[in-house]
A and B are shown apart, each in its own frame.
Chain A
Amino acid sequence: MHELSLAHDMTRIIGNVLGRKVHLDRVNITVGPLSGISPESLRFCFTEIAKIEGFGEPELVINQTRAKLICLDCDTEYEAEDFYQGCPDCGSLSRKILSGREFTVDSVELEEGED
């Protein structure tokens, strides 16, 4: 699973912004339902990688967003939690994706005593 390499990418991004490795209390991220990422698998990988990479044992807080879509058959704008949720008005799966593929590291919270 590529969640392992994504967990590595996350620690690299955090390390770059902080400029050093410190123990973290929390890591806040956003994962869209069309990103292809399994949040639980990511949590499992990130916990291991964060420890190995010197960021302690932060809690990973995952903000799971809903996708924003426009139905191509009837123009209804709607939200969905996964790939399979079609248009609430006509049931069609043909749609334009406005958002839902996002995967961002939003912020980190340092352990007390770290600054």
Chain B
Amino acid sequence: MCDEIIEQKIDITTSVMNKNDLFAAENRGFLKGKGIYTLNLISSPGAGKTTVLESMAHYFGSRMAVIEGDIQTRRDAERIEKAGCQAWQIETGGACHLDAHAVKHAMDQMELDSDILELLAIENVGNLICPSGYDLGENLRIGLLSVPEGDDKILKYPSLFSTINVLVINKMDLLPHLDFDVDRAIEECRSLNPDVLVFTVSAKTGEGMEEFCDFVESNYS
């Protein structure tokens, strides 16, 4: 008689991020096929992501489309539309980050076939932790840090600042009123992330924005 041994341990060996990474790869291929270069903007709430995008809207006009990620409301998308760009709002309904599937779903409903469209900017949910683990299919991951947040934030949020391609330090117009040490922030970011590129801007006054937009454009043109 041969007792059948029931295998109680079952192998799974699956990366939890696998599903997101597959959608991200699909998004990247889809956007490449359309000739659209894609940005993922990540910062804490209120660092100025939407204001930076409004300023970029003046530079790029209808060459840029925007996906807005917020927990609730269409407010940011309305601001972008007013600034002259196509905008799609994702309301995550509580989720603290965007994922590649939500972005794919948004893209399915947007008008991305236009010949003049060359840039898609995705504004992630305001959060320095959770968005960092999710590849959306972007070509450039941009971390935004604003001067009032303090120059010590970079080493406190290494999972974000070690994975960005570009650091944008925003609200430079407020620098005279604060003790933010720009060199310290840049140095700490480089220590985690030696290849990072840094721009200092004020989305409000426009200072540094043209240089930043020139750089974004130079990546694909």
* A positions within 8 Å CB-CB of B: 1-2, 5-6, 9-10, 13-14, 17-18, 25, 34-37, 72, 83-84, 92-94, 102-110, 112, 115
Contact = CB atoms under 8 A, between A and B. Distances in A.
16 contacts: A2-B129, A2-B130, A5-B95, A9-B19, A10-B16, A72-B194, A83-B158, A93-B191, A94-B191, A103-B17, A104-B14, A104-B15, A105-B16, A106-B13, A107-B11, A107-B12
Interface in B157-183: 158-159, 162
B15 A18 contact: no
Contacts of B198: none
Given A36-B159, A110-B10, A1 B15 contact: no
Contacts of B132: 36
A5 B132 CA distance: 14
Given A2-B97, A2-B129, 10 more contacts: A2-B130, A17-B12, A36-B129, A83-B162, A94-B191, A104-B12, A104-B14, A104-B15, A107-B10, A110-B8
Contacts of A84: 155, 158
A95 to B, nearest CB: 8
A107 B132 CA distance: 26
Contacts of A107: 9-13
A72 B195 CA distance: 11
Contact of B14 (A105, A112, A115): A105
Given A104-B15, A104-B16, A2 B9 contact: no
Nearest to A38: B129
Contacts of A92: 191
B1 interface: no
